[in-house]
Amino acid sequence: MAILIVHPDRKTQRTVQRILGVTGYRIEVADDLEQGIRLLQHISPRLVVVDVSALSSPSAAAFFAAVRARRDEACMMLLGANTLDQIPHILELGAITNLLVHPMPVLAEALTITAHKLVRNDLFGAEKYLLWGTQLHEVDVTRSMQRPKIVADLAEAVRARGQSARVASMAMLVADELISNAVHNAPCDADGNHYRSEVARDTDLELDAQHQVRLRWGCDARYFAIEVNDHFGSLDRGTILRALAKQDVRESGGGAGMGVALSYRSCDHLVFNLAPGKRTEIVALIDVRYSPSERIPASSFNVFVERST
């Protein structure tokens, strides 16, 4: 198995190579997309890492088509602070399943976690993003109308732990949207019908074991992590990428997937862990180290799909 790095800068190649080398996978390096396309004909990388400069290459379409054709692999793009305006274009491509916008050393952490998750096919749990010893609190949502109370309790807990009103506000919004989606959009029958998606969100539904949603949260003084799980696994990669790319959220606030789009814009890193037909887990990370004026005005995302064994 291999990891393919496509980057024009030799020093960055070496840095990324050192970080990803810890996985034990063979690292293949290409200076440009043309060389990357040639390598893709001979290797089946588990992960492809591309610099944002690839977007301006005349071979971009061919390269990303080649990546998309290999549906099992992940494609990650690295973004510098001066290229954040490229994010809408990147999302529209639909080929990038992982976007990391943070500079070193946060980039190294995110790269390493991403690579380990892919290599080990061990995707689930917010613990992977938190320091050792961090306690995760959990709540099972057993009735749909518990959501406002659970979200209010979460905000109170955030403030009680000394975090700012801004962090509490972001945590509330993300938790509310993700729980709402897990209760109403995740349930799906054998024919693929999402039978609760049109049920009014203020209807009180009793949730049996299959329909219950689990919220977990914790903070390690770097990140406030919010994790929401459902037992359906009906959310797919294409739906997520379309939701993240939604431009009409910006323009009109309309359409399906708005909850995912707002959650993405309200945290620093949104991670989707998908076990199709079994389980969906979404982890939102809010960086609590930096004040709003020191934070990068963009968010990272990962979409992981569990490989069947």
Partner 1 sequence: MTDIRGRLHIEPGANGTWMLSGSIDETSQLGELLSRARNGRLVLDLDGVQFINSLGVRDWIRLQTEAIKQQLAIDLIRVSEPIIHQLNMIIATRGNSHVASFYAPYACDACGCEESLLIDADAHAASLAQLVPPAQTCPECAAQMAFNDFPERYFSFLVPDSSRLG
- Closest to 102 (Cα-Cα) out of 76, 134, 74: 76
Among 5, 16, 155, 183, binds partner 1 (CB under 8 A): 155
Among 90, 111, 172, 305, binds partner 1 (CB under 8 A): 172
Tell me: does residue 265 bind partner 1 (CB under 8 A): yes
**Which of residues 128 and 265 has its CB atom nearest to partner 1 in the complex?**
265
* Stretch binding partner 1 (CB under 8 A), from 27-35, 102-110, 164-172, 189-197: 164-172
Among 56, 198, 254, 308, binds partner 1 (CB under 8 A): 254
DSSP 85: G
Helix runs in 71-146, H state only: 87-93, 106-120
**Which of residues 266 and 300 has its CB atom nearest to partner 1 in the complex?**
266
Quote the CA–CA distance of 200 and 83 in Å, as a whole number. Answer: 40
Quote the CA–CA distance of 126 and 189 in Å, as a whole number. Answer: 28
Q: Minimum distance between the CB of residue 294 and partner 1, rounded to whole angstroms?
A: 9
In terms of C-beta distances under 8 Å and separation of at least 24 residues, what long-range contacts does 170-173 make, across chains too? 170/266, 170/267, 170/286, 171/217, 171/224, 171/226, 171/286, 173/262, 173/263, 173/266
Tell me: does residue 166 bind partner 1 (CB under 8 A): yes
Q: Minimum distance between the CB of residue 169 and partner 1, rounded to whole angstroms?
A: 5
∠ CA(272), CA(222), CA(285), 5° rounding? 20
Chain residues in the site for partner 1 (CB under 8 A): 148-149, 151-153, 155-156, 159, 164-166, 169, 172-173, 176-177, 180, 200-202, 249-254, 258-259, 262, 265-266, 291-293, 297
